[in-house]
Amino acid sequence: MKIGIIGAGAWGTAFAVHLARQGHQILLWVYERELFDTLQKTSENTFYLPTFTLNHQIDFTQSLEELTEFSDDIIIAVPSFALRQTLEIVSTLLSKKRLLVLTKGFEEKNLLRMSEVVCEITQNKEFVAVLSGPSFAKEVAQGFFTSVVVASSTGNIAKYFQNIAHNQNFRVYTSEDIIGLEVGGAMKNVMAIGAGIIEGLKLGTNTLAAFVTRSLAEIKRLGKALGAKETTFMGLSGIGDLMLTCYGGLSRNRAFGIELSKGRIADEIIRNQKQVVEGYYTINASYTLSKRLKVDMPITEELYRIVFEGKSLRDSLADITSRGLKDEDA
């Protein structure tokens, strides 16, 4: 089967490796000219997923038009901040394609989930699915066992991509709660920044466990306000992905938090970071969304004030730990 992948970052490349192992023919769209030339010469993504030689079933292009002509099955794996601008180039060509969205986050300007952005641009609401779950790109490329969820508003398209992506080492479940899937996938990146701060300040595993637990409560509140099912957040795309990103050493968002704990300025860290830190771009949108929906999200608010207003970590910790008494399920 021929499959096009838009985005040659770590996740897009790892997904290409995974699908090629199953015998699919892959065309991978590459944004950077230098990376495209390197891939053509060496078949190694030295920018985002080094040490993996991509097999002969993966080809490369810088033409979105060529990619849309290549296949009716398109995987979208560009960063959240670049999603709209990238897809607008070929919006009409994507209107009848089957689209699987790997991108996680909220659009900063319009506060839309990634599937909403895709549907708005392509006017394609029937054939859009989203994949999420605990899945570090490097480990997927290595072939380590991974389990994820694919969701769509109509079950058929989720099951279609389930059949394409599933194998013994990459277990794919399906869901119809696309809202819950995307909220969990977006917010775990935000919370992982806080986990990195806790790790960097050496505040202990008790603190981290409490933080992750209350992070999940906060994510569930936002999801409920947006119409998600609470049970979704107890699954792979909720607690599963949150645990991976908060505890895992391969998490870029956690690493960003560790750098913040050293007193570095957020913008400076991002400028010197080749890999995309999705949580950085999601904080502002999720904070704004919480205020619009009147959802209590104190962790998100403190992270917003640290990253975008320069609030000191010690002041933030003091404010979050001195909050008034309340019931756990409140």
| Residue 96 falls in the annotated catalytic set | no
Beta bridge partners of 74: 4, 99
Residue 191 near residue 242 (C-beta atoms within 8 A) = yes
Q: Write down the pLDDT at residue 330.
A: 65
Q: Virtual CA dihedral for 196, 201, 205, 210, nearest 10 degrees?
A: -70
Q: How confident is the model at residue 329 (pLDDT cuts 50, 70, 90)?
A: confident
Question: In Å, how far are 16, 139, 258, 264, 295 from 11, measured between CA atoms?
Answer: 8, 10, 22, 27, 31
User: What are the start-end ranges of the E strands in the chain?
Assistant: 2-6, 25-29, 44-45, 49-53, 58-61, 73-76, 98-101, 128-132, 146-152, 170-175
Q: Write down the pLDDT at residue 41.
A: 97
Specify the pTM.
Answer: 0.96
Tell me: pLDDT of 154 over 90.
no
The CATH code of the domain at 180-321 is 1.10.1040.10
Tell me: pLDDT of 155 over 90.
no
Q: Write down the pLDDT at residue 326.
A: 87
Q: Write down the pLDDT at residue 40.
A: 97
- Across residues 147-168, what is the average pLDDT? 95
Q: Write down the pLDDT at residue 274.
A: 82
Q: What is the mean pLDDT of the chain?
A: 96
- Across residues 50-63, what is the average pLDDT? 96
Q: How confident is the model at residue 328 (pLDDT cuts 50, 70, 90)?
A: confident
Q: Write down the pLDDT at residue 15.
A: 98
Domain boundary assignment for the chain? 2-176, 180-321
The CATH code of the domain at 2-176 is 3.40.50.720
2, 96, 104, 188: which one is catalytic? 188
